């Protein structure tokens, strides 16, 4: 068991964050490709998006819509392991993501849904894409305005300590 400090998302924010926080791209009867987005994407968040689109950095947890998703985790093709419990942003995820350069595969033990908030601390502007379940993908440009909005949301999170039973040894 591993216990880590986290910031817990307030319950009321869940409804706000279910609304796309950027430009929503949809495509009927086929998969969205990187050329459909007409931009260079720096970070993909989510297993399906990471597996489908070519991004410099990929963040995934081995699940899609809370069901197992066979992707990068099956053959251990990840560079970094991050512990991030559901509905939180862990100090571990903030530290591990902030330390490295863009261009890694990051496996999240827990849930990766709030990981885009961690990228707000990066100095450079980033394009982040994540899946909008059952609809399409959302591209969020992390510029000065978006970073300020995210920081205001982060101020509503409450500090806590969460223990995780699952532990993975990096080999």
Q: Which residues contact 4 (CB under 8 A, 6 or more apart)?
A: 83, 85, 90, 91, 92, 161, 162, 163, 164
Task: Please tell me the predicted confidence (pLDDT) of residue 169.
Answer: 58
Residue 102, judged by CB atoms within 10 A of its CB (0-12, 13-18, 19+), counts as middle
User: Which is it for strands 105-110 and 57-60: parallel, antiparallel or unpaired?
Assistant: parallel
The single residue listed with the structure tokens 């450079």 is 124
Task: Please tell me the predicted confidence (pLDDT) of residue 31.
Answer: 64
| CA–CA separation, 127 and 35 (whole Å) | 14
Task: Please tell me the predicted confidence (pLDDT) of residue 99.
Answer: 83
| pLDDT tens sequence across 41-89 | 889 998 888 888 878 899 988 876 555 555 544 445 788 888 999 899 9
Buried b or exposed e, range 44-74, using 16+ CB within 10 angstroms = bbbbbbbebbebebbbbbbbbeeeebebbbe
57, 100, 110, 124, 128 from 165: Cα distances, Å: 27, 26, 10, 35, 30
Residue 167 tokens, joined: 């532990």
Buried b or exposed e, range 23-35, using 16+ CB within 10 angstroms = eebeeeeeebeee
Task: Please tell me the predicted confidence (pLDDT) of residue 7.
Answer: 96
Ranges of the chain whose pLDDT falls below 50: 72-75
Task: Please tell me the predicted confidence (pLDDT) of residue 155.
Answer: 95
């Amino acid at each position: 068991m591993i216990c880590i400090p986290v910031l817990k998302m307030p319950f009321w924010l869940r409804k706000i964050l279910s609304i796309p926080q950027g430009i929503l791209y949809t495509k009927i009867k086929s998969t969205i490709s990187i050329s459909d987005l007409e931009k260079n994407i720096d970070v993909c968040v989510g297993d399906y998006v990471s597996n489908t689109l070519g991004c410099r950095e990929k963040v995934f947890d081995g699940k899609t819509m809370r069901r197992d998703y066979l992707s990068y985790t099956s053959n251990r093709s990840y560079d970094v392991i991050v512990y991030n419990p559901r509905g939180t942003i862990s100090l571990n995820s903030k530290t591990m993501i902030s330390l490295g350069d863009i261009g890694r595969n990051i496996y999240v033990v827990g849930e990766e849904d709030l990981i885009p908030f961690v990228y707000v601390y990066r100095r450079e502007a980033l394009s982040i894409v994540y899946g909008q379940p059952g609809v399409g993908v959302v591209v969020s440009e992390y510029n000065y305005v978006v970073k300020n909005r995210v920081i205001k949301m982060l101020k509503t999170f409450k500090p806590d300590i969460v223990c995780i039973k699952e532990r993975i040894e990096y080999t």
